[in-house]
Amino acid sequence: MERKKNVVRHHRAPIDKSTYVFGTRAVIEAIKSGKEIEKILVRKGLSNELSRELFSLVREMDIPVQNVPVERIDRITRKNHQGVLAFLSPITYQKLENIIPGIYEKGEVPLLLVLDKISDVRNFGAIARSAEVAGAHAIVVPEKGAAQVNADALKTSAGALNMIPVCRVKSLRETIVFLQESGLRILAATEKGDKNYFETSMQEPTAILMGAEDKGIEPELLKLADEWVKIPQFGQIASLNVSVAASVLIFEAVRQRMQASS
């Protein structure tokens, strides 16, 4: 008699209901009450008087919106969501243009991380943990394509995401130009780099640009970078985990700065 094989079924963990609000009016009220919104899912084709009020408010507050099939929202809740669901953020995003002057005013040398569409929440959390421990001043992420700041990200960061400023921006391209105009060098971490990371100076104001787990740094952003650096590799695996690579670079900056001040 043939034995039945044990089938292991993986079930997606349910989303905590306290992390989202659904229904057009409820989402509008959440925004007006000052709640930090991570992003809003809107059913494709949604158009009525109340939704137009929502869209006007969203544009005013610069909140990321995704137009999705209704099935995407149904997977989260089957209640009367009216085609609108907002994820609440557990952190308050900071404005980069407010942070940079403050760093200089304190007499410190800026050290920032710019993350180009790093989408894995655990990688994001691990990067935030390393950045906070190293004393980095801020993490910059794009509105679209970045990992959601949720319970998993917070847990992996060991609370660092509540301590280090996170700046969410519309355009990484414009942000890189702003940072350069503010006196920061943009150091792109890429296997295409023509020198090893420890062969360049990180003692001056620096923003370390890290790319997505699968695609790396977008070509248009690479072109803007002041320098490309790589982490030497001698094994057979193609690349390091992005959170490990970020830690290597962050603490090289710390090493150089400590050495310079001793």
The upper half-sphere exposure of residue 158, i.e. CA atoms within 13 Å in the direction of its Cβ, equals: 7
pLDDT tens, residue order, the chain (262 aa):
344 444 434 334 455 555 899 999 999 999 998 888 989 999 999 989 899 999 999 988 888 899 999 999 999 988 999 999 999 988 989 999 999 999 999 999 999 999 998 989 999 999 999 999 999 999 999 988 888 888 889 999 999 999 999 999 999 999 999 999 999 999 999 988 989 999 999 999 999 999 987 888 999 999 999 999 999 988 887 778 999 999 999 999 999 999 988 7
State the amino acid at position 188 in one-letter form: A
* pTM: predicted TM-score of the whole model, two decimal places: 0.83
Q: Is the dihedral of CA 238, 240, 242, 245 positive or negative?
A: negative
Helix, strand, coil percent content, the chain, rounded in steps of 5: 40, 20, 40
